[in-house]
Amino acid sequence: MAHPLIPQITDIANPIAAELGLEVVAVAFHTHERPPSLRIDIRNSTADTGLQDCERMSRALEAALDATEAIPFEYALEVSSPGTSRELTTDREFNAFSGFAVQVTAKDSTDGKPQWQGNLVRRDETTIYLNKKGRMIEISRELVEKVSLDDLDAVS
């Protein structure tokens, strides 16, 4: 279950990120840590996300959170890039990681196959295409819950 402050924090973070040419990809509040840790993952939509992007977002967001007093207790703010071991969501990511090993997770396992692994070929409006050992696998996007980069070596 997400922390109840996440929607408010996201509402504050999104316009700041947009103004800086960034996008908020994920917000997590780890209240089991001491002090609690607020993690914001950002992505630069036009280039690789760098340390300068994280620093600019951190400074701007920290000032906004302090001004609004959205978080009424001590916390640590972490702004970072989600890295490469993440879920693929945008056309840009699907294009950039074409040929990489991915894992596709189904919304349900009605056909007895809840996951597929292979090298990403492409996706279009209706289908995700994988290559597994030279065999083309076509998966309807309607069945797909998520597509993630696979930590394993390529499978072709």
pLDDT tens digits, one per residue of 92-147? 788 878 888 898 988 875 556 678 999 999 999 999 999 999 999 999 999 898 89
Domain ranges of the chain: 6-80, 87-149
Residues sharing a CB contact under 8 Å with residue 106, sequence separation 6 or more, in sequence order:
113, 114, 115, 116, 143, 144, 145
Short-list 102, 142, 134, 105, CA closest to 118? 102
User: Is 97 or 7 the better-scoring residue by pLDDT?
Assistant: 7
Residue 153 carries which DSSP code?
Answer: P
Predicted confidence (pLDDT) per residue in 65-95, tens digit: 999 998 989 999 999 887 654 778 888 788 8
Structure confidence at residue 18 (pLDDT): 96
The superfamily (CATH) of domain 6-80 is RimP-like superfamily, N-terminal (3.30.300.70)
**Mean pLDDT value of segment 150-155:** 50
Structure confidence at residue 155 (pLDDT): 39
Structure confidence at residue 1 (pLDDT): 52
**Mean pLDDT value of segment 44-70:** 91
**3 neighbors 29 (Cβ within 8 angstroms):** yes
- The two domains 6-80 and 87-149 share their CATH topology (first three levels equal): no
CATH fold label, 87-149: SH3 type barrels. (2.30.30)
| Amino acid symbol at 68 | T
Q: Does the model's pTM come out above 0.95?
A: no
Over 90: is that where the pLDDT of 13 sits?
A: yes
| Amino acid symbol at 85 | S
Mean pLDDT value across the chain = 86
Residue 142 carries which DSSP code?
Answer: G
User: Is 111 or 155 the better-scoring residue by pLDDT?
Assistant: 111
